Amino acid sequence: MPNVPVRPTTVLSVGGSVFRTGEDDVRYLGRLADLLRRIGRRRPLAVTVGGGRTAREYISIGRELGLTEIELDEVGIDVTRLHARLLAGRIGPPTPSHPPATLAQAVLELRHGSPVVLGGTEPGHTTDGVAALLAVRLRAARLVNATNVDALYDRDPKLDAKARPIRRIAWPKFREMVHEQSGGHAGEQFLFDRLAADQLARVRLPTAIVFGRDLPNLEKAMTGRPFLGTEIF
């Protein structure tokens, strides 16, 4: 078979807090789906979707009912897959409407068509972690983390008005920040997943943090153009 040059893969992680805010969600999701369909036609694109508030609500009910941490993670995974199914359905073929349940399946699906949309895979991490493992496995050109803040800050901007955005940060330093701030229980919100940071730091995979609801800026970050947010290198 001739060696056909393949366009480098892009991986996008859409935070659950961006997916469903309670404000204009349907319009946003429709436009996000249009953007992903368009970008995904031109280059291989894998997208993970988080569970956000909905996942945390179910996890907290499960916790009160006495479920184990593993079972709670599985509840979270089910919600992320529900979100993935909604987005995939709106994007339409060739995107499989049934989200791949494993990394291997996602990689295989990407050979047949793009974009591929998935939720969580196994207990113990978040969909940022899934996106990171996929990005490393696919030797992606870049990973974009679409989240509910417009950049990484030097301190919590909600608590301190003097907080300043960090526009560029090297992987070793960023990994340290993640380890200082993360816990590791089901439904917990991390600045970024620990597993994700560890995997990405090892290969120093170019990563962007952007506000996910600003679609023109998200497109810039996904297509390698200058964007507003934080670049991790």
Residue nearest to ligand UTP (CB): 76
Q: Which residues bind ligand UTP (CB under 6 A)?
A: 15-17, 50-52, 55, 73, 76-77, 80, 120-127, 130, 186-190
CB of 195 to ligand UTP, least distance (A): 9
CB of 2 to ligand UTP, least distance (A): 37
Q: What is the DSSP letter of 118?
A: E
Helices marked H in the chain: 16-19, 25-42, 52-64, 69-91, 103-112, 127-137, 171-181, 194-203, 215-222
CB of 132 to ligand UTP, least distance (A): 11
Q: Are strands 230-232 and 168-169 parallel, antiparallel or unpaired?
A: parallel
Q: How many CB atoms lie within 10 A of CB 89?
A: 13
Judged by CB, which is closer to ligand UTP: 92, or 102?
A: 102
Q: What is the DSSP letter of 17?
A: H
N-terminal to C-terminal alpha carbon distance within the chain: 35
87 and 117 Cβ atoms separated by less than 8 Å: yes
CB of 62 to ligand UTP, least distance (A): 10
CB of 73 to ligand UTP, least distance (A): 3
Largest CA distance in the chain: 59
Judged by CB, which is closer to ligand UTP: 96, or 129?
A: 129
Which residues fall within 8 angstroms of residue 57, CB to CB, at 6 or more apart? none
Q: How much helix, strand and coil, in percent to the nearest 5, is found in the chain?
A: 45, 15, 40
52 and 15 Cβ atoms separated by less than 8 Å: yes
Judged by CB, which is closer to ligand UTP: 123, or 224?
A: 123
CB of 210 to ligand UTP, least distance (A): 13
Burial of 168 (0-12, 13-18, 19+ CB in 10 A): exposed
CB of 131 to ligand UTP, least distance (A): 9
Q: Quick one: tokens of 64?
A: 């009160």
